[in-house]
Each structure stands twice: as C-alpha cells, then as structure tokens.
A and B are shown apart, each in its own frame.
Chain A
Amino acid sequence: MSFLHFTILLPFIAAIVVPFIYRSFNHKIHTGWFVVLVPVFIFINLLLQIPSISNGENILISMPWIPSLEINFDIYMDGLALMFGLIISGIGALVVIYSIFYMDKNREALHNFYIYLLLFMGAMLGLVSSDNVFVLYTLWELTSVSSFLLIAYWYERKKSREGALKAMIITVFGGLAMLAGLILLVMITDTYSLREMIANVDLIQESALFIPALLLILLGAFTKSAQFPFSIWLPDAMEAPTPVSAYLHSATMVKAGIYLVARMTPIFGGSATWFWLVVGIGVITLFYGSVRAIRQTDLKALLAFSTISQLGLIMSLLGVGSAAFYFNPGESQQLYAFALFAAIFHLFNHSTFKGALFMVVGIIDHETGTRDIRRLGGLLSIMPITFTIALIGSLSMAGLPPFNGFLSKEMFFTGMLQASEVDMFSLEWLANGCPILAWIASIFTFIYCMILLVRPFLGTFKPDRLPKEKVHEAPIGMLIPPIILGSLVVLIFFFPNILGQYILNPAIASIVPDLEKPFKITAWHGFGPELYMTIGVIVLGLLLFVSIKKWNIAFRVLPENLNLNYLYSSSLENMEKRSVSFTNRYMTGSIRHYLIYIFVFVFSVLALALITLNAIDFDFSNYAYVTIYDVGILLAMIVAALTTLFTRNRITAIVSLGAVGYLVVMLFVIFRAPDLALTQMVVETATTALFLLCFYHLPKLGKKVEKVKFKLTNLIVSILVGVTVTILTLVATGHKLFTPITEFFENAYELAGAKNIVNAILVDFRGFDTMLEIAVLFIAGIGVYTLIKLRSKGSDTDEAETE
C-alpha cells in the first residue's frame, strides 16, 4: 500500500476509530477536533503533490484488490483528480471545524455523524482518483449511501427520512444506469482502466454501442448532479444538518456527476448527441433552478435551487467544451477548450462561495432558530461579520466584481456565445436559444442573490417572530470556516492565475492533453458582448428585484399538480399499492402453499433444462451391481416413507421419517462413505430431536379434513419432483462434460497433509465454500432465534387458533 493509497483510504480507517474516540473522549473534547485532523492531513499531502502534477507528471499507483477479476484499486492522480481532491479535503476540513460548533456534543449522536461523514470523504476521494471503472462505480454508490445516511441523520423526523429515500432512489437508479454504461464501455474496449479507454477512443466511437453507453453514463451523471428533471431530490436533501448540505450537497457529492462528464469528455466529446444533451440539459437546469429559487421562502431551499442552477451552468459549459474534441489540436480546439476551462474554474469558485453561503445560512438558523425569510430581517446590525460573508458570497454568485464569480460568469457568457456559433452540429434553434436562456437565467440568479442578501439582513428586526430570544453573532469557530472561504472568493478575483497555473490548467490538461498553450484569466476583456450582458443582468435584475411583489403573482397561475415532485410521489405510491396487492395474491401465509411454489419451481427448472438440453439419455455401464443388501434397505425405506405418509399419528410420522434417514446411513456404509454416513447419522439425530421438541406446537394430524383438490395438487407435485430428480440423478452420472477433477483431490496428502480427502476438501480445497456455508448456517440460526424470541405479541392470535 503506497502512501497515496494510505492518504485516500485514511477516512475509512478513521471511521473505524471514531466510535472509540467518541466513547472515551467526547464528554471532555468534541469528537470533531479529532476528526478534523483527517482532512487536514489529506489536504496537506495533496498540496505537496501540486508541483509534480502541475509539471504534467501524473501519478499512477496500483494496489491489488480483487486480482482474480483484474479489479485493482489503481490510483491515477492527475490535475483533475488533484483539484477535486483538494476541494474534498479542503472544504471537508472547514466543514468539520464548522460542525464542531454547529453540532452540540451532548445532544447529538456525533459518532454516527462523523462516521458517515468520513465514509463519504473516503468514497469521494477514491471516486475521483480511481482509474478502474468498477472501483469508481463502487465508490460512486458508496457516496449515495453515505449521503442517504447523512440526510436521514435526524431520522426521527419524517421529512428527513423521506428526503433521504428520495435522494437514494434517484441517485442509485442513475448509478445503476451508469454501471450498465461502464459495462458497455468495458465490452467495447476490453479494459477496466479509464486511461486505456481514452486511449482506445476510436474503438468506442466506431462501436454500435456508442449511443447507448453515452446515454446511460449521462443518466448517472445527471441524477448525481441533480440535473433537470432529476433535480427534485436536492431540495429535499436539505433536511440534512447544514454542515452536510454545505459539504455534500453543494461542494462535493453533487459535483461527482460533473466530474464524470469531465472525465468522459475525451471519450464522448465531439459527438453531436453528447454536445446537445449536455448543453441542453445544462441550460434547462440552469434556467429551471434559478426560476424556482426565487419562489423559495426557506433560505436552505433557496440555496438548494441555486445549487441546481449553478450545476446546470457548469454542465452546459462542459457541453460546449466537448466540441474541442471535434477539432484537431489548433485554434478552434483552443477556443472550445476554453469553455472546459471556464467550467472547471466555475466549479472551483462555486465550491468556495456556495460553501460560505451555506455556512452563513447555518449560522442564521443556529442563532435565530429559523430559516424562513418571512420571519427574518434586520440582522445586519446584530451579525455584521455574517453579513459581510453573505455579501461576498451572494455577490460572487450573482457575478459581480471584485469576486471570483464575476470572472467565471464572464467566461460562461463567452462559452454560451460560442455555443450559438457552433455550426458543425446543426441544431440552430437550440444554438440560438442557449445564450438567451442563459442570460435570462443569470438575471434570475441575480434576483435570488439579492433576496438572499436583503431579506434576512436588511429591513426591520422582528425579535417576537423568532423562536430564539437572544439573537447574537455566531461564535468565532463557526465564523472562521466561512471567513476563509470568503477570503478565497476575493483572493481568487485578484490573483486568478496562481490558481490557474497550479490547479486549473493541470486539470484541463488531464481532459485535453494536447492543448496549444495554457489559459490565462483576465478580469477585463474590453467592451465586448460579455460585459454588456453582465451590465444588462445587473440593471434588469435590480429593476425586477425592486418590483418583485408585482410580478411574483404570475407563478401562482401554475397548477400545483404539474410539478415533478407530484409525479415522483404519486408514481411511488402507485407502485407500492400495486406491488402490495400483487404480493398478497400469492403470499397466503401458509407454509404448505410456499412449499408447493418451491417444488413446482424446482421441477420446472430441472425439467426445462433436461428437455431443452436434450439430456435425457441413460448410460448404465458404470453402475455398480445391485446387491441383496441394497434391495433390502430400499424396501425398508419405501415402507418407512409410506408409513410417514399414511399414519394418523404425528409421533409415528416423525419416527418413521427418522427411520428413512438412518436407512440412508446404512446405504452410505455399504458404499463405503464413512464421512457421509457419520454426518447423515448425526444430522438425522439432531433433526429428529428437533421434531420431537416442536411437534408439541404442530396441529394434530388428521383432525382437519383437507380439500381433495389440495391433496391432489400435492400428489401431482410430489410425483413430478420425484420423477424429475430421479431422472436427473440417473442422467447426471452418464454425462461427463468436463475432465473430472478427482485426481487433484487424490493428492490431498501431498497438498494438504491430510489422509482424509473429504475433510481436506472441506477445510482446505473448498474452504471458501465451507466458510460461506457456516456463515449462512449462522444467519439462519440467528433468524430462527429472532423470529421466535422477538416476535411481537400481537401476531400470536393466528397461531393460537391452529393449536
């Protein structure tokens, strides 16, 4: 295990230790102080990688995980992975510090919280640095699972559980689609490595599976990054504690989809489908999110919709940038790659200002007890520092100077204008629509930024409408993380090219390796269309914000049932109802029915296999001669079996069933299989004892007159099963499809040092089987125990009647 592997797996290791730390130290020191060391350590380690990676020396280290399936945890650390790694660990450290003051150490189950958080951190770090697609997929799902756990952290609230479930259903659905897409890619290229897939891009683009793979992978990316129409899970995910919302649902996890699209751009980029899907969905999401955000009264919901909208913005830029792969290295490629650069830049900026804004909202919620903008107001004089951070964050989001959002917003307009000039993919109406939609969306973005800033902080302070009595500025520990992010927002505006040189350009180089020259970020590009667009956004945005009450009513015309949430919940409800009524039809609660299902299934599968494979052909040449002992034992067995069937006394039935078992033991002895005989004997003893113990609970035989129809079914089913199994046994000995491996087992003494081959097989050659078998046995035992011991009293009534 290399040091880099250790760095990336550290959160998992820490997650194991956290409960012990919590138990022994939490009453003195907040567990978060220990946890914060993990992201800080990772952050510093990743910082140390910057010099070599910005020189283009990417790191590839392999660690075997499941070598027999060629699934290895290969870390491929390039510019893109490094940038994500820095965001994950950097914001992670700030969020943990913030959570120390946000989460009360005496009231909250902190060990759960930090285990989930560390799980997520490890999964996300591994996701962005893994080269193996299946490792990537596994960790992708692990981020969904940890997100589920974090959203449902306050699981006693119904809304939390529902939000968690919704996020889980949508993202896992997308994840499975992505898995299918990845499998298609593996089928085409015959490799599990992302780098080798990119190297074999010609194979993929010529394949007939190109479009299906593209669609499936985009489905994964769009669900994860909350793109329209899958965006509905993100607002509900806001039920999570605010540090989680700041971390997972704005800065990192929702960007996994962006990451995937960026990673896959070299593979799918240059195709018209990819271009228009990513640009189109991105712009629609941008527009949808910004419009919906204006209507929100909950500050966190507002931020959630704004995140959706910003993710759409980044997505659309990635779409425009994918056109770079249409061209050979040269001027046009450089031109379109600029959109990719803008996407990466805005992604980074978004993590800074949105992280800060979430923390601000968390502070407001923490100090006043509410996030409802109708109750808040006039906090400016009470929370001046918080206001300053909010000012920086929201103006940056609105795209104003001197904040980093201005730089990337201008670049975004450039990118959108480029999209309208794309002539090679001939979809003119969409091409012309994009910049217009993007511009309108930016106006709405400006408006909701103003709402976010003005409504809680300006106006009159209404203390009687707040749940908490004494409202004051947040503790310094809660302010430090957003202050750091806020200063980054300003610093990046003034020195964007330091970031550009060391982080953004290496990240671009890992998407488009053969760029002509690195990009530079400039704040002033002269009087161009971008500047006029920005000025237009500010002027119109201000006008509309002032008059918001007059036009806001227009939204009320829309019917309630016409939204995506309604569609989601009604289809979920319908599905539940249908499956319940379907299940109830055959799940009668009677074990006899279930046994019939099982046996009918066994019979049909076996019979079908025998017939379709044309396997019924007997070969008796290898059989041993039938001796007089065999005949005697067989006859005795038949008599015992018939006694079981026709007796009217339960004890007689049990004993004669035991007799059948012991007669089988005799057969084993005759055929010289002492191990089998011993096992069968002991098992028979144990089961007979078990039967004797529980027959007390069974209904008396013959008391109930069963329906003739039921008995007839039983007869037919048992005869069919018996005949099929007999035929199968007879047939099986006659077929030798493979070379027998008997000879290998005969070497048991040399290989395993055991003279008893049976035992050597059990504990050595097939040890894995045995291990799983005892695990299954154990699970079954615990199952029986729980079913009996922990049964709720209310369900006893049915069984009492049968007694």
Chain B
Amino acid sequence: MKLKPNDVILNTVTKLAAVIIFTFSIDLFWAGHHFPGGGFIGGLTTAAGIVLLYLSFDIERIEKNLPIDYKKMAAIGVLIAIFTGLAGMIYGDNFLEQTFGYFNIPIFGETELATAVLFDVGVALAVIGTAVTIITSISEDEL
C-alpha cells in the first residue's frame, strides 16, 4: 500500500468506522428480503469496509488479524450459489428454484426462512472476494 500507514486521525476514525460499516453491511444483507439491500450491496459494502482498513493500516497487520484468502472466498461464494441451485434438484425442482416457508422459532416467533438467503450468501461472498482481490492486487503491485 502506497499511503503512509501512520496517519493517526485516519487510523482512529477507521477503527470506529469499520465497525459501523460492517454492522451496516450485515444489516443491508439481512434487510434484502423485504427492504432495500441484499447480497450484492451487503457484500460490496463489506468490501468497501475492508478496503478502508487496507488504506489506513499496513498490509501485514491486516493480514495477521484478518487471515482470509479472498480468492478462495470468491470461489466458495460462486460454489455456494451453484450448490444451492443444485440442492433444489434433489427434491425434483428445477435448477435454482428457491423455496421459502414460515417456521415458529423460539425467541424470534413466527419467522420466514427462505433458501434464497443461502444463494444470497454465495453472492455476497463472491462479491467481497472478487472486489477485495482486484483492489488489493492492483494496489500491491510494485512496478
């Protein structure tokens, strides 16, 4: 990363902001079923949060605290999306046919559970993985 990693103000703000961004992105992800949001937006917001971390701290520190291989994450996301599609085929549905139902769960009460959420998890992981992979590989590039 080219930016100087010892910017105190940026560091302090980032520490706080990252938490808020990640929380917001999780909220966006879950809201997707009924309100604006969803896997793509949630994933991209998370990616933006991670990039902010990369901007304000040095790479070694982040890689130590967030030891994630984003390439693998993206691949896993795509695979999850494909396999949720295949799962329906076992029950005789078409590929990628989603179902949902209402269940009574303690604490939450009557809750809607949808397989589309699993698919959305795949979308989110693929988006986070790809976005961070592209951004970090471009920024780490030393000419």
Contact = CB atoms under 8 A, between A and B. Distances in A.
Interface in A728-786: 752-756, 758-760, 762-764, 767-768, 770-771, 774-775, 777-778, 780-782, 784-785
A507 B143 CA distance: 68
B48 A689 contact: yes
B112 interface: yes
A754 B129 CA distance: 26
A287 to B, nearest CB: 53
A172 B103 CA distance: 55
A785 B51 contact: no
Interface in A650-708: 674-675, 677-679, 682-683, 685-686, 689-690, 693-694, 696-697
A709 interface: no
Nearest to B132: A781
24 contacts: A675-B38, A678-B41, A690-B138, A694-B138, A694-B141, A697-B143, A752-B114, A753-B33, A753-B114, A763-B116, A767-B85, A770-B81, A770-B119, A771-B82, A774-B77, A774-B122, A774-B127, A777-B127, A778-B78, A780-B134, A782-B71, A782-B133, A784-B133, A788-B138
B12 interface: no
A222 B71 CA distance: 46
B76 to A, nearest CB: 10
A782 B74 CA distance: 9
A752 B116 CA distance: 9
Contacts of B35: 755-756
A788 B141 CA distance: 7
B44 A763 contact: no
A753 B139 contact: no
Interface string A783-802: 01100110000001001100
B108 interface: no
Contact of B137 (A777, A784, A796): A784
A777 B130 contact: yes
A194 B141 CA distance: 57
Given A682-B48, A782-B71, A796-B143, A774 B135 contact: no
Interface in B22-59: 28, 32-41, 44-45, 47-48, 51-52, 55
B135 A690 contact: yes
Contacts of A694: 138-139, 141
Contact of A767 (B38, B114, B119): B119
A803 interface: yes
A770 B96 CA distance: 10
B81 A774 contact: yes
A187 B116 CA distance: 40
A677 B41 CA distance: 10
When A and B form their complex, which 3 residue pairs have the shortest distance between CB atoms, in order from nearest? A781-B130, A753-B100, A755-B34
B78 A759 contact: no
A781 B119 contact: no
Interface of A: 674-675, 677-679, 682-683, 685-686, 689-690, 693-694, 696-697, 752-756, 758-760, 762-764, 767-768, 770-771, 774-775, 777-778, 780-782, 784-785, 788-789, 796, 799-800, 803
A763 B120 contact: yes
A796 B137 CA distance: 16
Given A752-B114, A767-B85, A796-B143, A678 B130 contact: no
A768 B133 CA distance: 24
Given A762-B40, A763-B38, A799 B74 contact: no
Contacts of A778: 74-75, 77-78, 126, 129-130
Interface residues of B, number: 51
A689 B14 CA distance: 15
B74 A686 contact: no
Q: Is the interface of A mostly helix, strand, loop or mixed?
A: helix
A754 B95 contact: no
Contacts of B77: 774, 778
B107 to A, nearest CB: 21
A799 B142 CA distance: 12
A754 B116 contact: yes
A774 B143 contact: no
A256 to B, nearest CB: 31
B64 interface: no
A785 B39 contact: no
Contacts of A690: 134-135, 138
A685 B48 contact: yes
Contacts of B47: 686
A762 B38 contact: yes
Contacts of A759: 32-33, 37-38, 116, 120
A788 to B, nearest CB: 5
Nearest to A689: B51
Counting chain A CB atoms within 10 Å of each CB, the highest count among B38, B52, B75, B123 belongs to B38
A345 to B, nearest CB: 45
A686 B123 contact: no
Nearest to A787: B137
A763 B80 CA distance: 13
Contacts of A677: 36
Contacts of B123: 762-763, 770, 774
Nearest to A774: B126
Nearest to B120: A763
B4 interface: no
Contacts of B127: 774, 777
A755 B33 CA distance: 6
Contact of B143 (A678, A777, A780, A799): A799
A771 B85 contact: yes
Given A755-B34, A759-B120, 6 more contacts: A682-B41, A693-B2, A696-B2, A755-B35, A763-B120, A784-B134
A768 B137 contact: no
Contacts of B74: 777-778, 781-782
Contacts of A675: 36-38, 41
A215 to B, nearest CB: 38
Contacts of B137: 784-785, 788-789
B98 interface: yes
Contacts of B28: 678
A635 B37 CA distance: 29
A478 B42 CA distance: 62
A154 B71 CA distance: 32
A763 B130 contact: no
Contacts of B75: 778
